[in-house]
Amino acid sequence: MEQHPDNAMSVQRFRSACQEVKNVLDRITPVEPEVDRPVGEIFEKRAAQLPYLREAEELLTRALVEFPLHPYLLDWRAEVRMAMVDRDTTQLATDGAKADLAQALQVAPDYLLLRVRLAELAAANADEQEAATLFADATGRLEVLACRCVAGYASALAGSRNEAQARTLLARWQLAFPDNDALRDVSSELGSGAKPS
């Protein structure tokens, strides 16, 4: 299937925009907490990252003009904004990060990482109740997704004549998630001798 030239240019431009952001972020030296390092020094080094983070934020904002509402770009900009800390350890762009994540969730409600970041943001803002609610939601969604993956994997194993391995995998996961329909369905198909679909 031949790709339309405009689409190829768009993909190329998207990759180029992402590489620009990555190049800026690669210039940041990670700050590793050390037991004997003064806390103030850690925060000074974090604050020194701010110009790079601002540059990355600007590049992502420009990319979002070209690729509006792209959930990956919104998520990345939120991540950059969540890292913006001044010398007084004040997070500088949490409202912007939260807005980015909320907007991205409207476009891609099944993008699990967005929900995790929202939960992390709530925890960073000491909103423990909101963080607990968001983490619980993300965990529930992750369980469903993980069980679907395991069910699919077990079904593929059984289809390729590795039924013993499929049964072992299913048994292990069903201990943790006994009420999951996807796991139960594949297990029933294996038990009945029917080929898993």
Whether pLDDT at 195 is above 70: no
Q: Which CATH number fits domain 1-126: 3.40.50, 1.25.40, 3.30.1240, 2.60.40?
A: 1.25.40
Quote the pLDDT of residue 59.
Answer: 97
Largest CA distance in the chain: 65
pLDDT of residue 5: 52
Is the predicted pLDDT of residue 50 greater than 80, yes or no?
yes
Q: What is the mean pLDDT of residues 64-77?
A: 95
For 44, other C-beta atoms within 10 Å of its C-beta total 12
- Give the residue with greater pLDDT, 123 vs 197: 123
3-state SS class at 180: coil
pLDDT in tens, 77-134: 999 999 887 776 667 788 899 999 999 999 999 889 999 999 998 998 888 999 999 9
Distance CA 117, CA 131 (A): 10
Average pLDDT, integer, range 148-163: 91
Contact at 8 Å (CB) between 85 and 59? no
> Per-residue confidence at 194, pLDDT binned at 50, 70, 90?
very low
Instruction: Give the pair of three-digit tokens for residue 71.
Output: 């959930």
Q: d(Cα 173, Cα 155) in Å, to the nearest integer? A: 14
**pLDDT band at residue 3 using 50, 70 and 90 as cut-offs:** low
d(CA 123, CA 93): 15
| pLDDT, tens only, 164-191 | 999 999 999 999 999 999 999 998 888 7
